[in-house]
Amino acid sequence: MSARLVPAAGDASGRRPDVPLRITVDGEPVDGAAGQTIAGVLLASGRRTWRSGPSGAPRGVFCGIGACFDCLVTVNGVRDVRACRRRAHDGDAVATQSRGGDAR
């Protein structure tokens, strides 16, 4: 088992059934629920990694509250968006990013 969204049915918070949305990640469609952050959509879809550090090492979510900047993605062409702080919107085009060509 891995990261997952708690099923709406039986959720103690009494939340309503999920309102589906779809984003793309590097062109590939990924389904999520309205209200999730982009990090939440990516994690629940089984992804853990969507950025590479300067050496190319894989990175994903670390602090989850916008302090560590590990989860940066490009959203609709805008670089360096913290996936843990940004709500996903239906149709968002998310692209993974790296420093690319960095000499280090």
Closest approach of Cβ 96 to other proteins, in Å?
12
The reply to whether 90 sits near other proteins by the rule CB under 8 A is no
Contact flag: residue 60 with other proteins (CB under 8 A): yes
Single-letter code of the amino acid located at 87: R
Q: Give yes or no for residue 57 binding other proteins (CB under 8 A).
A: yes
Place of tokens 């708690």: 6
Cα–Cα separations (whole angstroms), residue 93 to 26, 27, 39, 73, 74:
7, 7, 13, 10, 8
Amino acid letter, residue 47 = R
* Residue ranges binding other proteins (CB under 8 A): 1-6, 11-16, 19, 33-37, 39-40, 43-44, 48-49, 53-55, 57-70, 72, 77-82, 84-87, 98-104
